[in-house]
Amino acid sequence: MKISRQKGTKDIVFEDALIWEYLEKKIRKIAYSYNVNEIRTPVFEATELYARSVGDETDIVNKEMYTFKDKGDRSITLRPELTAGVVRAYIENGFESLPSPLKFWYVGNMYRYEKMQKGRYREFAQFGVEIFGSSSYHADVETICLSHSLFKEIGLWDKLQLNINSIGCKECRAKYIEKLKEYVKPNLENMCQTCNVRYEKNPLRMLDCKEERCKEILQNAPMITDNLCDECKKDFENLKKALDDFGIDYVVDKKIVRGLDYYNKTVYEYTSKDLGLAVGGGGRYDGLVEMLGGKSTPAVGFGIGMDRLVLLLKEYNLVEDIINKNYVDVYFLILDENGYSYASDVITKIRELGYKVELDIQDKSFKSKLRYADKIKSKYVCIIGENEIKCGKCTLKNMNEGTQEDINFSIDEILKRME
Ligand code: AMP
């Protein structure tokens, strides 16, 4: 019986693996330049963590979690996002007592039982950053700058749009929600079932509804951005000015409220200009640490979909260089069994010097070995047969030029030609 890959998962290999490696290297480089610490948290956590943080009324918790009982009868969930796990780690490890602000980055797989669409998987990865301990808008700006640096570095910045909004603090949001409910109330019975539940449990989320009839009713609804308190308004103005100072273009989109319960004040999203694809988003979540049992700690962060970045890099041909540069420096083609001990020292040393070296490990004809060297894009082939061993030589073939010469078999002689 053939066993297939699970729906919504993929095998990343060859060219795609090179693109992922490229992306991860760039992320590491940018995170380093912003002095952010890497954090790796477990792939599974207690279900309670997500129910409490992400929120009972979200699609993620309601419909999409991979939840199961382990053999000890604990309810376990494969992480559907990573912020909650990082906050759990922050509290559990006593990071609250470390000098703040404390900054973390991660790249990790997450799991959501979702309907398949382009760029939507059940196992996917996100690159994220979380900053704890600063309530200043400068921290929000820092997260946007960091993601902007990455997008610039990989050539995607001009393909993306940054949309920002402020959803206010607890106080101004509470007042606004009353206003929103008042506006919606006369039309509530014409809205979808989900919005009726949201009306009671999380009214802000009604603004996210995709149903036409709800969208229509909400078209002229009061917007949170127009109902901020003085402090939130000032914060948002400061944030916009700082983005201007850094030369980062943005659009204010009053409709962004973000899908998760724990955001406040700044929220933002990156979308692809041409493909209408959400690439990532983030914002401030000052209440979450306390909500999960820690001390009241301001925090801000973002998550960006790695799979979508890979998709965009391919779509815009920004990775041809990476793929084309995937060659082998030298292939050692051995025609005599004694050739292996003859060449072993040289091969080891060339590898230690950082060259990409392939050793012939198959019993095949000379012709098919050469064909293989061509397929793996080897720049040179070092041929070792009985005669070469007898004379202390090798035949070095330059695959690009189609030339070859007999040379003394030594590292120096080989490297001299390869450089
Ligand atoms: P979210 O955590 O839902 O705010 O998503 C943040 C980003 O993660 C999105 O903008 C996507 O780039 C990516 N993402 C979310 N869900 C998926 C998925 N099912 N498959 C692939 N990428 C996803």
Q: Please say if the pLDDT value at position 33 is more than 70.
A: yes
Sheet bearing 160-166, strands edge to edge: 37-38, 102-111, 123-132, 299-305, 278-284, 264-272, 160-166, 251-252
> What's the CA gap between 342 and 4, in Å, rounded?
45
Q: Please say if the pLDDT value at position 367 is more than 80.
A: yes
Q: How many CA atoms lie within 13 A of 385 on its CB side?
A: 9
Q: Please say if the pLDDT value at position 262 is more than 90.
A: no
Q: Kindly state if the Cβ of 279 falls inside 6 Å of ligand 1.
A: yes
CA of 308 to the centre of ligand 1 (A): 8
Please write the tens of the pLDDT for every residue from 52-70.
888 766 778 778 999 999 9
Residue 292 CB coordination number (10 Å): 18
CA of 280 to the centre of ligand 1 (A): 7
- CA-nearest residue, atom 3 of ligand 1: 259
- CA-nearest residue, atom 18 of ligand 1: 120
Contact 280, 147 (CB under 8 A): yes
**Given the DSSP bridges, would you call strands 264-272 and 160-166 parallel, antiparallel or unpaired?**
antiparallel
Q: What is the 3-state secondary structure (H, E, C) of 197-260?
A: HHHHHCHHHHHHCCCHHHHHHHCCCCCHHHHCCHHHHHHHHHHHHHHHHCCCCCEECCCCCCCC
- CA-nearest residue, atom 8 of ligand 1: 305
Ligand 1 atom nearest 119 alpha carbon: 21
Q: What's the full length of the chain, in residues?
A: 419
Q: How many CA atoms lie within 13 A of 180 on its CB side?
A: 23
Q: Kindly state if the Cβ of 79 falls inside 6 Å of ligand 1.
A: no
Q: Please say if the pLDDT value at position 207 is more than 90.
A: no
Tokens of 346: 């040289």
Q: How far apart are the first and last CA of the chain?
A: 51
Mean of pLDDT values over 161-178: 93
- Please tell me the predicted confidence (pLDDT) of residue 126: 98
Q: Kindly state if the Cβ of 108 falls inside 6 Å of ligand 1.
A: no
Mean of pLDDT values over 237-256: 96
Ligand 1 atom nearest 114 alpha carbon: 19
Mean of pLDDT values over 258-262: 66
Q: Please say if the pLDDT value at position 346 is more than 80.
A: yes
Global confidence as pTM? 0.92
Mean of pLDDT values over 40-60: 88
Instruction: Express as a percent the part of the chain with pLDDT over 70.
Output: 99
* For ligand 1, mutation pick of 9, 113, 114, 120 (most atoms within 8 Å of CB): 120
Q: Please say if the pLDDT value at position 257 is more than 90.
A: no
CA of 229 to the centre of ligand 1 (A): 31
Q: Kindly state if the Cβ of 280 falls inside 6 Å of ligand 1.
A: yes
Tokens of 4: 């297939």
Tell me which residue has tokens 């005599």.
Answer: 336
- 84 burial class (0-12, 13-18, 19+ CB within 10 angstroms)? buried
Mean of pLDDT values over 184-192: 92
Please write the tens of the pLDDT for every residue from 319-336.
998 888 889 999 999 999
Contact 224, 201 (CB under 8 A): no
Tokens of 305: 């979909």
Contact 266, 140 (CB under 8 A): yes
- Please tell me the predicted confidence (pLDDT) of residue 201: 84
- Please tell me the predicted confidence (pLDDT) of residue 263: 84
> What's the CA gap between 252 and 243, in Å, rounded?
12
Q: Kindly state if the Cβ of 124 falls inside 6 Å of ligand 1.
A: yes
Q: How confident is the model at residue 210 (pLDDT cuts 50, 70, 90)?
A: confident
Q: Please say if the pLDDT value at position 124 is more than 90.
A: yes
Higher pLDDT, 170 or 354: 354
- Please tell me the predicted confidence (pLDDT) of residue 339: 97
- CA-nearest residue, atom 20 of ligand 1: 120
Summary mean pLDDT of the chain? 94
Q: How confident is the model at residue 259 (pLDDT cuts 50, 70, 90)?
A: low
* For ligand 1, mutation pick of 257, 307, 313 (most atoms within 8 Å of CB): 307
Q: Please say if the pLDDT value at position 118 is more than 90.
A: no
> What's the CA gap between 335 and 385, in Å, rounded?
5
Q: Please say if the pLDDT value at position 120 is more than 90.
A: yes
CA of 377 to the centre of ligand 1 (A): 36
CA of 298 to the centre of ligand 1 (A): 24
CA distances from 274 to 156, 217, 316, 410 (A): 12, 28, 11, 54
- Please tell me the predicted confidence (pLDDT) of residue 116: 84
Q: Kindly state if the Cβ of 305 falls inside 6 Å of ligand 1.
A: yes
Q: Kindly state if the Cβ of 168 falls inside 6 Å of ligand 1.
A: no
> What's the CA gap between 350 and 411, in Å, rounded?
7
**Given the DSSP bridges, would you call strands 44-46 and 160-166 parallel, antiparallel or unpaired?**
unpaired
DSSP letters spanning 346-385: HHHHHHHTT--EEE--S---HHHHHHHHHHTTEEEEEEE-
Ligand 1 atom nearest 112 alpha carbon: 19
DSSP letters spanning 46-83: EHHHHHHHT-TTSHIIIII-EEEE-TTS-EEEE-S-SH
CA of 277 to the centre of ligand 1 (A): 10
> What's the CA gap between 282 and 141, in Å, rounded?
11
Mean of pLDDT values over 294-313: 97
- CA-nearest residue, atom 15 of ligand 1: 305
Q: Measuring CA to CA, which residue among 394, 383, 385, 398 is closest to residue 329? A: 398
- Please tell me the predicted confidence (pLDDT) of residue 260: 63
Please write the tens of the pLDDT for every residue from 3-26.
999 999 999 999 999 999 999 999
Q: Kindly state if the Cβ of 8 falls inside 6 Å of ligand 1.
A: no
Q: Kindly state if the Cβ of 307 falls inside 6 Å of ligand 1.
A: yes
- Please tell me the predicted confidence (pLDDT) of residue 261: 64
Backbone Cα Rg of the chain: 28
CA of 314 to the centre of ligand 1 (A): 18
Q: Please say if the pLDDT value at position 72 is more than 80.
A: yes
Contact 267, 302 (CB under 8 A): no
- Please tell me the predicted confidence (pLDDT) of residue 117: 83
